[in-house]
Structure 1
Amino acid sequence: MDFTFFCIVFSAIFSSIILIPSLISVNASESVLSSYLVHTDIHLRPPQFLIQDQWYSSMIESFTNRKIKLKTGSRIFYTYNEVLQGFAAKLTPQEAESINELPGVTGVFEDRFRINLDTTRSPDFLGLNLHYGLWPETDLGENIIIGVVDSGIWPESESFNDERLGPIPSKWKGTCEEGSEFNSSNCNRKLIGARFFFKGAEQHISSDHRLDFEYRSPRDANGHGTHTSSTAAGSNVKNANIFGFAKGQARGIASKARIAMYKACWIGGCADSDIVASIESAIKDGVDVLSLSFGSADEDYYENSIAIGTFAAVKRNIFVSCSGGNLGPHQFSVHNTAPWVITVGSGSLDRTFPVRIQLGNNKSFVGSSLYAGKINRKFSPLVYLKNCINRELVPRKVIGRIAVCYGSRSRAFDYGLSVKAAGGMGLIQLNDASEGEALRAIPYTLPAVTLGYKAAKELVSYIHSTKDPMARFRTRALTLVGKDRAPIVLSSSGRGPNYIVPEILKPDLVAPGLNILAAWPSNIAPTRSSEDPRRVKFNVDSGTSMACPHVAGVAALLRAAHPEWSAAAIRSALMTTATTIDNVQHPIAKFEDMVTATAISIGAGHVNPLSASDPGLIYDAHAPDYLKFLCSLNYTQKQMKIFTNKTKPCSGLTGSPYDLNYPSVSVVFRPGNTVHELRRTLTHVGSFLPEIYRVRIVNPNAQKVTVSVKPHMLKFGASLEKKSFRLKFETSYVFHSNMSILEQMVCGSISWESGKHIVRSPFSVMWDKNKMKH
Structure 2
Amino acid sequence: MAISLLSLIFPLLTLTPNASAYYQPDNLKPKTNTPSSSSYIIHTDNLTRPSIFPTQSHWYSSILKSAVANQTYDQDRIFYTYDTIMHGFAATLTPDEARKVSSTPGVIGVYNDSIFELHTTRSPNFLGLNLGDGLWTDKFDAGDNVVIGLVDTGIWPEEPSFDDAGLPPIPPEWRGECEIRDRFNISACNKKLIGARFFRSGARARGLSFDDGSEFMSPRDKDGHGTHTASTAAGSAVANANLFGFANGTARGVATRARLAMYKACWGFYGCPVSDIVAAINAAVKDGVHILSLSLGGGPEEFYADAVAIAAFAAVRNGVFVAFSAGNSGPDEGYVVNIAPWITTVGAGSIDRKFPARVTLGNGEVYVGQSLYQQSPNFTGFAPLVYVPQCLMSDSEITQLVKEKILMCENAFVELGMKVAKARGVGLIGLNDNYSGEGVIVKAFTLPGLTLGYFEAQKLIKYINSTSNPRASLQFDYQTVIGESRAPTVAYFSARGPNIIQPEILKPDILAPGMNILASWPTETPLTGSLKDLRRAGFNIISGTSMSCPHIAGVAALLKAEHPNWSPAMIRSAMMTTAFPLDNSYRPIFLDESLKPANALAIGAGHVDPVRAKNPGLVYDLGVQDYINLLCTMNYTEAQIKRFMPEPSACSKFEGGVGDLNYPSFVAIFDAETKARTLTRTLTKVSELPETYEARVVNPRPDKVEVVVEPKTLEFGGQGENLSYKVRFVSKVDEISYTEVEREYGYIMWENTEHQVKSPVVFMWK
Give the TM-score taking structure 1 as reference length. 0.92
Sequence identity, in percent? Answer: 49
2:752 aligns to what?
754
1:185 aligns to what?
187
Over 3 Å counting, the alpha-carbon distance change for 1:735 and 1:229 in structure 2 is farther
1:595 aligns to what?
596
Q: C-alpha deviations, 1:406-448, integer Å up to 9, x for none?
A: 007xxx3333233334332211001111111012111111110
Partner Cα distance (1:640, 1:420) in 2:
59
Over 3 Å counting, the alpha-carbon distance change for 1:210 and 1:321 in structure 2 is farther
2:127 aligns to what?
126
2:617 aligns to what?
616
Q: C-alpha deviations, 1:621-670, integer Å up to 9, x for none?
A: 111111111121112222222111134x5554565212211000011113
Q: Is the 8 A contact 2:323 2:345 kept in 1?
A: yes
Q: Is the 8 A contact 1:357 1:472 kept in 2?
A: yes
Letter of the aligned partner of 1:218 in structure 2?
P
Q: Is the 8 A contact 2:398 2:419 kept in 1?
A: no
Q: C-alpha deviations, 1:441-494, integer Å up to 9, x for none?
A: 111111100100001111111112222211111333311111111111111111
Over 3 Å counting, the alpha-carbon distance change for 1:418 and 1:640 in structure 2 is farther
Q: Is the 8 A contact 1:236 1:250 kept in 2?
A: yes
Pairwise CA distance, 1:212? 3.8
Q: Is the 8 A contact 1:135 1:141 kept in 2?
A: no
Q: C-alpha deviations, 1:311-334, integer Å up to 9, x for none?
A: 111111111111111111111121
Q: Is the 8 A contact 1:324 1:343 kept in 2?
A: yes
Pairwise CA distance, 1:737? 5.5
Letter of the aligned partner of 2:67 in structure 1?
F
2:485 aligns to what?
484
Partner Cα distance (2:279, 2:357) in 1:
46
Partner Cα distance (1:264, 1:51) in 2:
27
Over 3 Å counting, the alpha-carbon distance change for 1:393 and 1:693 in structure 2 is farther
Letter of the aligned partner of 1:320 in structure 2?
V
1:691 aligns to what?
691
Letter of the aligned partner of 2:417 in structure 1?
G
Q: Is the 8 A contact 1:357 1:475 kept in 2?
A: no
2:161 aligns to what?
159
Partner Cα distance (2:229, 2:33) in 1:
44
Confirm whether residue 709 of structure 1 aligns to residue 709 of structure 2: yes
List aligned pairs for 1:302-313, cutoff 5 A: 302-313=304-315
Q: Is the 8 A contact 1:151 1:220 kept in 2?
A: yes
2:3 aligns to what?
none
Q: Is the 8 A contact 1:433 1:453 kept in 2?
A: yes
Pairwise CA distance, 1:239? 0.4
Q: C-alpha deviations, 1:270-313, integer Å up to 9, x for none?
A: 01100100000000000011111111112111222331111111
1:380 aligns to what?
383
Q: Is the 8 A contact 1:331 1:497 kept in 2?
A: yes
**SS of alignment partner, residue 141 of structure 2:** helix
Q: C-alpha deviations, 1:666-706, integer Å up to 9, x for none?
A: 1111331111111100111113x221100000111112111
Partner Cα distance (2:424, 2:99) in 1:
56
1:700 aligns to what?
700
> Which of the numbers 21, 42, 45 marks the counterpart of 1:41?
45
Give the TM-score taking structure 2 as reference length. 0.93
Partner Cα distance (1:653, 1:706) in 2:
26
Partner Cα distance (2:362, 2:211) in 1:
46
Confirm whether residue 739 of structure 1 aligns to residue 742 of structure 2: no
Unmatched tracts of structure 2, length 5 or more: 1-31
Partner Cα distance (1:652, 1:552) in 2:
32
Partner Cα distance (1:652, 1:399) in 2:
71
1:413 aligns to what?
414
2:20 aligns to what?
none
Partner Cα distance (1:526, 1:589) in 2:
30
Partner Cα distance (2:502, 2:344) in 1:
15
1:340 aligns to what?
342
Q: Is the 8 A contact 2:582 2:588 kept in 1?
A: yes
RMSD of equivalent CA atoms: 1.8
Partner Cα distance (2:299, 2:212) in 1:
24
Over 3 Å counting, the alpha-carbon distance change for 1:738 and 1:577 in structure 2 is closer
1:233 aligns to what?
234
1:169 aligns to what?
171
1:23 aligns to what?
none
Letter of the aligned partner of 1:601 in structure 2?
A
Partner Cα distance (1:266, 1:179) in 2:
16
1:660 aligns to what?
661
Pairwise CA distance, 1:66? 6.9
Over 3 Å counting, the alpha-carbon distance change for 1:498 and 1:652 in structure 2 is closer
Q: Is the 8 A contact 1:160 1:191 kept in 2?
A: yes
Q: Is the 8 A contact 2:353 2:482 kept in 1?
A: yes
Letter of the aligned partner of 2:196 in structure 1?
A
1:326 aligns to what?
328
> Which of the numbers 24, 32, 39 marks the counterpart of 2:36?
32
Letter of the aligned partner of 2:300 in structure 1?
D
1:222 aligns to what?
223
What is the number of residues matched between the two proteins? 730
**SS of alignment partner, residue 458 of structure 1:** helix
1:354 aligns to what?
356
1:397 aligns to what?
401
2:11 aligns to what?
none
Q: Is the 8 A contact 1:233 1:254 kept in 2?
A: yes
Q: C-alpha deviations, 1:14-50, integer Å up to 9, x for none?
A: xxxxxxxxxxxxxx99722210011111222122112
Partner Cα distance (2:506, 2:391) in 1:
39
Pairwise CA distance, 1:734? 4.3
Q: Is the 8 A contact 1:617 1:683 kept in 2?
A: yes
Pairwise CA distance, 1:394? 2.5
Q: Is the 8 A contact 1:429 1:451 kept in 2?
A: yes
Q: C-alpha deviations, 1:204-248, integer Å up to 9, x for none?
A: 2527x5874111110111100000000000001010000000000
Letter of the aligned partner of 2:380 in structure 1?
R
Q: Is the deviation greater in 421-430 or in 236-245?
A: 421-430
Partner Cα distance (1:635, 1:415) in 2:
51
Letter of the aligned partner of 1:314 in structure 2?
V
**SS of alignment partner, residue 344 of structure 1:** strand
